[in-house]
Structure 1
């Protein structure tokens, strides 16, 4: 009995020693937190390039460590993390979250760091996208919108107007049964060009008005459904639509520069042209344009270090130029826009021209109540569940109720 008791005591001492040593190891040998953590939802090609430049930054600033975290469901993760006092120091997305996040206190103004000289390094529309209620909340890194991408192995000359495009799509599906005339993700952003082309709109920052069921908006969406839907797959998810184009099952794809890395990885021969003119009303389609920006979280660990990296990354001409030439992102840094190589690049220059024809996404917090109902309406119309008038009237009502305007 005595020996058994001694064995138990010895075993207990060993367990305590193991636990204690594990605690000491955890305390002294776990990986320390990076000085700057940045969250982004990016494709592998953009992630790889950014990681390369994070290494270059660390060579110049050895006392500042930076970690890039690629987050698939960025918005959901941010809305869970930031109110709980967690999350990243910096995060990147299109500018339309600015109003909502600023008013919620999820991002901090950068006015103490952003000088007029720094603002002047970027084009005006880009800095405007970073500004809310007269405070600068972000720095811009690129512009983006959608344009018409075509497979050069199938299309010799791109269409100049929708009538030409429709004839090409029609002939292709006749000659290739089971294939499609065009690939296009079905959501409010991708479809916006057509209601805007007709003079419609979803929401306006200027007067906070909702125009989802305006006559012009309905006409534009009906135009899209009449001239594009017949040549599309019924699976309108991004993954399915891009796959159709990559697999050579459609000659055209409506997409932004963020997807060009995938096409290049597949060694596709492709060209980019403007969305074709709506010849029946002699008007250009006007897609939503976004400015990709980087905000600073209200939970920032070290504001000075975070801004040092933020400024370095967004004004690094080599990084911005390679984003343009290798990934197709439209520069907003003036020096890069004037670079001879960038100006000569057909893809970048076409997307830049498309941005000029587009309309900036609203950045008011109210816009967050608009996307969902419009997306639901587009799906109902596409599937034939409701007419455009029915679906868009319902969406308008849902938005007004959500905004407390009924």
Structure 2
């Protein structure tokens, strides 16, 4: 592995462990459409633009969305967005501050509680209900008259919506699917052009791979739990964590069957034995020991850098086809001292041109339809755009984050042999109910 790739891999591990980690689940549905939609992707009212006289300061908290080797390019993107904003609002001074992913949630909440937090900050879908119920997010519906809401992917808008209130505007989407090692496919006598689309088909390939000493796929434990491990399999089996009525259903028939599938994969050596706690099993795929790995567009950069032979698959179908795909959003706190300027900035952050330059660099999927053409001719990213159509952002509940370690603890106990799948699912359900009752 090259020095450059090692650095990139370390960045990816950190990014995945935090950006994708918060175990989430239920899509809350499409938000109530904002009134006054216009036709242009970056549409804004000329009258509003000419009469709004904004001034003062706003602070924007962002994160390391790329590795260190692309830091200068990322700064160029931020400068471009600020420059475009200042061409409309020259009297507003914008300060971009990058904060680390680690402990960012507590850092944001602590700063907001002390009234010295940012005016704009980054959110994930499963944080929206938590922050909204704490009354720290500014509802955005009334500000959107001059913003073309129909141009956003509606699933991405839904990720920023809770109880019919829009709290954040999306800048990126990510989709995850299985990536296969073509050398191993050929070694087991299968065709890379005819990848599995169902669990039954994948099981046949997995058995052949394990018979030849390979691992079938990854299933990293620890903080990576849920969004990129348990939940997609659970959704594919027709199950869920919490239903639309707020009832915990992780231990229904579909849920128990999913826990059983995971235990069977572990017992039959389909997944690594360190799946109880290891947060990163991507090196197993890089080293040619694993048939398939769960990955995103960001994973492709590493594979291409390493010159690996791979092919993108589709999310597997059990009772239904489904995948996890996070959405990155920007929100305004309810105690911002310059709300209107902050709201106008997140509009700028998420307009077509900003989404193009941001997502071209970070290799995510734009949340605006008018920006999707940045991947025209790129078959791999077009595949991820297809996967995004069947992806869910996670558990849309105030307890989405706090239940993650509790579910992981039950999976670990099951894999260690201390609990049956039924007992592990039941205890996970009880832990989730306890968290909901605290609310």
Q: Taking structure 2 as the reference length, what is the TM-score of the superposition?
A: 0.73
Alignment map for 1:167-206 (pairs within 5 Å): 167-176=204-213, 180-186=215-221, 187-190=225-228, 191-204=230-243, 206=244
How far residue 365 of structure 1 moved from its aligned partner, in angstroms, is 1.5
For residue 350 of structure 2, the aligned residue among 299, 303, 314 is 314
| 1:207 positional shift | 0.7
Distance 2:295 2:431 in 1: 28
Give a deviation string over 1:58-95, Cα, whole Å, max 9, x none. Answer: 44327433233333232233333332333433222321
Maintained 8 Å contact 1:373/1:398: yes
Q: Is residue 159–residue 276 contact of structure 1 (8 Å, CA) maintained in 2?
A: yes
**2:202 equivalent among 161, 165, 182:** 165
Q: CA deviation at 1:360?
A: 4.4
User: Matched residue of 1:120: which SS?
Assistant: helix
Match of 1:294 among 312, 319, 330: 330
Aligned pairs (5 A) from 1:154-303: 154-155=184-185, 157=192, 158-176=195-213, 180-186=215-221, 187-190=225-228, 191-204=230-243, 206-227=244-265, 230-236=269-275, 239-278=279-318, 283-300=319-336, 302-303=338-339
Deviations 1:213-268 (A, max 9, x none): 11111112212332466222222356531222233332311123344444444444
Distance 1:49 1:227, change over 3 A: farther
Q: How many residues align?
A: 363
Q: Could you tell me whether the CA contact under 8 Å between 2:58 and 2:118 is conserved in 1?
A: no
Mark the runs of 5 or more structure 1 residues left unpaired by the alignment. Answer: 1-32
Separation in 1 of the partners of 2:71 and 2:100? 7
Aligned equivalent of 1:17: none
Matched, 1:386 2:419: yes
Q: Structure 1 residues 228 and 354, CA, compared in 2 at 3 Å: closer, same or farther?
A: farther
Give how far 1:149 is off.
1.3
TM-score by length of 1: 0.78
Contact 2:259 2:425 in 1 (8 A): no
Gaps of 5+ in 2: 1-55, 187-191
- 8 Å CA contact 2:182, 2:310 repeated in 1: yes
Give the counterpart of 1:85 among 115, 131, 135.
115
Equivalent residue number for residue 79 of structure 2: 55
**Based on CA coordinates, which of the two structures has the bigger radius of gyration?**
1
**What SS does structure 2 have at the residue aligned with 1:97?**
helix
